[in-house]
Structure 1
Amino acid sequence: MKVNFFIDENQPEYIDFHVKKLTPAMQSMVDELQKQDVLLWGYQEKVVTPLKLDEIIRIKTEATEVHIQDISGIYKVKQRIYQLAELLPDNFIQISSGEIVNFDFIDHLKLSGNGNIVLILNSGDETYVSRRYVSKIKRRLGI
């Protein structure tokens, strides 16, 4: 397959595909590209801030609120975890019904003998993978 890049900072970005058939792999790639345009707004007190996806460490439900932790702080968001899971690109992985982590911020894992997984984030924070999501994480890591 031939691939061309035409770089011009003065032009709006767009992608055209010229294919004979749309395969599931191509559709997956399109879905991922479209997710890169996701813009999330975080709330702190009375300040609303756009959040960059590549700076988000984790998204967590606390009580009835959803919080996003990024490299600069913790923000409230109005979406629910299941809505965010559908919007976010593949480097975000849901580890429980109430938490999503950015794969890029995982430092290492602790595997226990009973099959539990503890994720250690680059910040030193620990979080636990719920049993329902253990197989998904293992598949993703190839373990």
Structure 2
Amino acid sequence: MVNLIKTKGGGNLKIHIEVDPTLDEPAVTLHVPAKTPAVDELVAAIQAADRVQQRLTFSWHGENYQVSLADVLFFEARDHQVTVHTATAMYTTGQRLYELAERLPNQFIQVSRSAILNRTQVFSLTRSVTGNLVKFQNSHKQLYVSRRYYQALKHALEEKG
């Protein structure tokens, strides 16, 4: 199926949709001419749309809030409830930790049986005899990492650069 759409600059945008039974999820590839001035704007718009989609609904004192995943420091399961920690607030969710783990982007990594953290929010990782401690950017909150997950987290943080 091919559609022609008029663009803001007056040119045409061809859209071709191809059904591929070998794919598990949709994939988008954009082919643009080498001298396309709007490529940066297009990339920025796609990134902005991606950030908007990466929001989940959590509750706090009986009210529901849309929280950006970029603001989440970590998820913590305790007493049959998952708490969502940001730098300034704590929310709860009815989802189980393993259900969240399946939905979260790869910036989130499991660091214990009961916690998943956002590696883009990590300020420091300290290894000591008493435990492995993570401190977060712009927050007083801290989280312990189990020995089992320490190496994977360390590698993920080094990968992040």
Structure 2 length normalisation: TM-score? 0.61
Which residue of the partner structure matches residue 42 of structure 2? none
Corresponding residue for 2:134?
119
Instruction: Output one character per residue of 1:88-129: Cα deviation in whole Å (capped at 9) or x when no partner.
Output: 112111111111111122111112268x52111221322111
The secondary structure found in structure 2 opposite 1:54 is helix
Structure 2 distance, partners of 1:46, 1:142, is: 39
Q: Does 1:61 align with 2:77?
A: yes
Higher relative contact order (CA 8 A, sep 6+): 1
Q: Which residue of 2 aligns with 1:42?
A: 58
Residue equivalent to 2:150 = 134
Q: Aligned pair 1:106/2:122, yes or no?
A: yes
Structure 1: tracts of 5 or more residues without a match: 1-6, 9-13, 20-32
Secondary structure, aligned partner of 2:117:
strand
> Percent identity among equivalent residues?
25
Aligned equivalent of 2:29, options 4, 10, 17 = 17
Structure 2, gaps ≥5 residues long: 1-6, 9-25, 32-46
Q: CA 1:99/1:74 → structure 2, altered by over 3 Å: closer, same or farther?
A: same
Aligned to 1:29: none
Change (3 A) 1:110 1:45: same
Distance 2:71 2:105 in 1: 13
Q: Which residue of 1 aligns with 2:67?
A: 51
The alignment yields a C-alpha RMSD, in angstroms, of: 3.0
Taking the aligned partners of 2:155 and 2:129, their CA distance within structure 1 comes to: 18
State how far apart, in whole Å, the 2-side matches of 1:60 and 1:88 are. 14
Q: Which amino acid aligns with 1:94?
A: Q
Which one has a bigger Cα radius of gyration?
Answer: 2
- Cα distance in 2 for partners of 1:71, 1:131 equals 25
Alpha-carbon deviation of 1:139?
A: 2.2
